[in-house]
Amino acid sequence: MESDPKIVELIGEMRRKGQLPALDQNVAALCHLADNKEQTQTAELTAIILRDAALTSAVLALANSAAYRTRAPIKTVSFAVILLGFEKVQQLALGLSIFKKSRENARSRELYRLFVCSYFTGTVAMSLARQSRYSNPEEIFVGGLLHQLPRLLLANSFPERYQEMEKLMMKDRLDVNKACEKVFGIRYSVVTREILECWNLPDSMKKTIRDVDGALNEQNTMIILAGDISDMLFGNKPSGADPMTEAEKRVKALLKLDDISMHRFLETTFEADDNLSRFFNLTRQDVEMMTKIAEWGKVSSAEVAASLTMGFQASEAILEKVDPRVMIGQFFSELMIGVQKRAGINDILMIAQEALYRCLGPECVFTAFYDKNRRFVIGRLYAGHNALVHASDFKFSMADEECLAVKCMKASEAVSIAAKAERILPRQDFIQMLKLEYVMLAPILCERHPIGLYMVGRMGGQPFSSDEKSWVEVIAGHVGLAFEQQGKSFAADFH
One digit per residue, pLDDT tens: the chain, 495 residues?
456 889 999 999 988 888 787 777 777 788 777 655 544 567 888 888 888 887 888 788 778 877 776 667 788 888 888 878 888 888 888 888 887 777 776 777 788 888 889 999 999 999 999 999 998 888 899 889 888 888 988 998 999 999 999 999 988 999 899 999 999 999 998 898 888 888 877 777 777 766 545 567 888 899 999 999 999 998 888 899 999 999 999 999 999 999 999 999 999 999 888 878 877 878 888 888 889 988 987 666 666 666 655 454 444 444 456 788 888 988 898 888 888 888 889 889 999 999 999 999 899 999 999 998 899 999 999 999 888 899 999 999 999 999 999 999 999 999 999 999 899 999 889 999 999 999 999 999 998 999 999 999 999 888 999 999 999 999 999 999 999 888 755 555 565
What domains does the chain contain, in order, with CATH numbers? 5-317 (1.10.3210.10), 324-493 (3.30.450.40)
Find all residues with CB under 8 Å of 306, minimum gap 6, and list them.
109, 110, 112, 113
Quickly list DSSP for 215-272. Answer: PP-HHHHHHHHHHHHHHHHTTSS--SHHHHHHHHHHHHHHHT-SS--HHHHHHHHHHT
Q: Are 66 and 272 in contact (CB under 8 A)?
A: yes
DSSP H/E element including 176: helix 176-184
* pLDDT tens by residue, 287-330: 888 899 889 876 666 666 666 554 544 444 444 567 888 889 88
What is the reported pLDDT for 490?
55
What is the reported pLDDT for 69?
65
* pLDDT tens by residue, 323-370: 888 889 888 988 888 888 888 898 899 999 999 999 998 999 999 999
Q: Are 261 and 323 in contact (CB under 8 A)?
A: no
Q: Output the CA torsion 32→34→37→41 (10° steps).
A: 60
What whole-number distance in Å separates Cα of residue 200 and Cα of residue 94?
13
Find all residues with CB under 8 Å of 463, minimum gap 6, and list them.
416, 418, 438
What helix, strand, coil percent values describe the chain, rounded to 5?
A: 60, 10, 30
Question: CA-CA distances (angstroms) from residue 118 to 100, 103, 186, 236?
Answer: 11, 11, 21, 11
What is the reported pLDDT for 302?
65
Tell me how many helices (H) and strands (E) the chain has: 25, 6
What is the reported pLDDT for 9?
92
Length, in residues, of the chain: 495
DSSP H/E element including 479: helix 466-486
What whole-number distance in Å separates Cα of residue 323 and Cα of residue 2?
55
